[in-house]
Every structure is written in C-alpha cells, then in structure tokens.
Structure 1
C-alpha cells in the first residue's frame, strides 16, 4: 500500500507521514527502532519537499528537531480550523527521553538479565508516547486511523525479516 493518503475525499498533498498506529508500533519493535528513524526521515522529506541540506541537518540531530516537527503539525491543525488537545513540547520530550533511555537500558540490560523487565517497560512507554505523536499527525492529515498506510507491504516484511534474522544470528 502506498504511503500516500490521497483519495477523492482527501485530495491534497500530504504534509506529514501517515501510518496506522499498530503498524508504526509493530514496525518499530520488529526493526529494533530503525523504522522510527525512517518515520522521522519521511516526515522531514515531505516537509522539505524532496530533502536538501536542511532535511539532512534535521536528520543528524532528531532529538533536537522533533519538537520543531511537532510544532509544524500543531500549526497545520490550527490553520485547518480544527482543534486537537495535545502538547507538542511534552510529547517531543517524551519520545526523545524514552528513546534515549531504551538505548542506554539496552546496553545495560544485555549483561544484566534482571534489567530486561525494566527495558521492556521503557520500550512499552516509548511505543505509547510515539503512538500519541502519530495520532496527532494522522489527525492533522485527516486520516485519524491511518488507513492510508495500515497494511504491511513486502518491503515492511523484508525489514522485519532482516532485523529478526540479525537478532537470531546474534544470539
């Protein structure tokens, strides 16, 4: 399925990357977070209309520019005359903080099996906050459930298979 959400009822160029929340979480988990980087890149690629040096700079420091992305989402919602109750600041902080803690705990949890439960809890918290960010983006794009990008594609399955095989080989 295409990542575009163009339909006769919603015939406009997307300004952000729409994806169903279950797919976002599944892909993030089964690609060890790599899909999150792809998600971030797609949003800035759409925002910067094809990339360029600005999009590359945003990609180098996602922790710093996630808030800027979410402010653009909020602005787009307001321009459309709709209202969405959320806090771009707190969600950006939540995503960045939980992502960094997942990385740190992942390194710590490898040699200390007792930390695995803490890592799983932090991953669940990250997915919860990341899902809230995507819910706002989907609302902004007029596709609250992300139906325009809800199905797993062949490329998605290749990502999942490759990362899973890598983990199995590492064990």
Structure 2
C-alpha cells in the first residue's frame, strides 16, 4: 500500500520546556557559600542576592519587572519572590517543605527591626545595648534568607546548590572587604561598652611599685 502523502505526521511532537522547567529561574547558591558571603559581608551580600533572583526570574519567565527596584525595596517584594519560588516548586512537582509567607515575614520584621536599631544607635539612644542588638539582628535576617535560598535551589532542581558551591576570586575579595567592615563594627561596639585598646593595654600592665 502506498503511503498517504496527505496524512498528518504521526511522529511524537515534543513541547519545548516552559519557563518553569528550565532550572535557572532563580539564583542557585549552596547553604555554606550563602552563609559565608552573607555574614562575612555583614549582610551586604543580600543586595546582589536579591538582584540576581529577580534578574534570573525575569529572564526565565519573560515577566516585565525591574530587578533593581525590587532589590532596593526588598521588604516590599520579598513576599512576591517567595510566592514565585513556591509557584515554580508546585509547577515542577519538586517537593520542598517550607512556609514561603512566614519566611518573607520574618525577613521583613528582622530587616525593619535592624534598621530601627541602627537609627537608635546612631542617635546614641539605648547605647551600647542597641549597638549590640543591631549586630545580633543580622542572625534572623540571614536565617530567613537562607530558608528562601534553599527553596530556590529546590525549585531549580539543585536542592544542595552544588552547581554554585565554590568560592570564587571575587567572593574572596568581598570577604576581605567584609572583614574590614566587621573589624570597624566590632571596634565601634567595644567602644560603646567603654572598652578601648588603650584601656586594654593599661589593664594588662601592672602599676609600678617602685618609689620615686
């Protein structure tokens, strides 16, 4: 029997992968690398972190948005970011237990609290306790962002962030800059508690008992 030249093709047609199937919808970072860069830079890393999440999501989804604006005003857009991460998780069927809204709320509250403490410290209100609390406030901010990052890794099909686990030369440069920042901050907190290098040296040197 001769083949029917007018029959439709019977070969299986594969659909192109949609935005949620690409695996690069968000920034992928291992937990270890995230913690090192976040805490070593005293939280400054979150600016790059937020920008890259939104930039990659825009590129993958085609959604019209401004990553820079959403980075500078992160407290207003973190809930939107976690909602998009959760939507990709659900669409791809990748299992990850987390509470997107709660993590975003913890981040917002901790960030606002940190900003308030910084303002009080700058005005000398409640010092030195506000100085110390301002440093400690970095912990809940970093914790909430780490939980969000782990969800983003899972949404991209790389739960452990193995594709971005190694520190680069640029990372080490930022860590070095962060070390200087940490030194200045800790010296400021020590000074607020009345401790200085001069006092420490004086305390270490016993008084002379010799008579003049």
1:31 equivalent to 2:46? Answer: no
1:59 equivalent to 2:74? Answer: no
Distance (Å, rounded) in 1 between the aligned partners of 2:175 and 2:80: 30
Distance (Å, rounded) in 1 between the aligned partners of 2:178 and 2:105: 27
Larger helix percent = 1
Q: By how many angstroms is 1:151 displaced? A: 1.5
1:20 equivalent to 2:20? Answer: no
- Equivalent residue, structure 2, for 1:148: 163
Q: By how many angstroms is 1:104 displaced? A: 2.5
Give the counterpart of 2:115 among 97, 103, 108. 103
Pair 1:57–1:106, CA change in 2 (3 A)? closer
Distance (Å, rounded) in 2 between the aligned partners of 1:65 and 1:108: 26
- TM-score w.r.t. length of structure 2: 0.66
- TM-score w.r.t. length of structure 1: 0.80
Distance (Å, rounded) in 2 between the aligned partners of 1:56 and 1:129: 21
Aligned length: 161
Q: By how many angstroms is 1:150 displaced? A: 1.4
Give the counterpart of 1:78 among 54, 67, 90. 90
Distance (Å, rounded) in 1 between the aligned partners of 2:158 and 2:65: 30
Pair 1:157–1:84, CA change in 2 (3 A)? same
Distance (Å, rounded) in 2 between the aligned partners of 1:128 and 1:63: 15
Distance (Å, rounded) in 1 between the aligned partners of 2:133 and 2:177: 26
- Equivalent residue, structure 2, for 1:46: 56
Stretches of structure 1 lacking an aligned partner (at least 5 in a row): 1-10
Q: By how many angstroms is 1:116 displaced? A: 4.6
RMSD: 2.6
Of the two structures, which has the highest relative contact order with CA contacts closer than 8 Å and spacing of 6 or more? Answer: 1
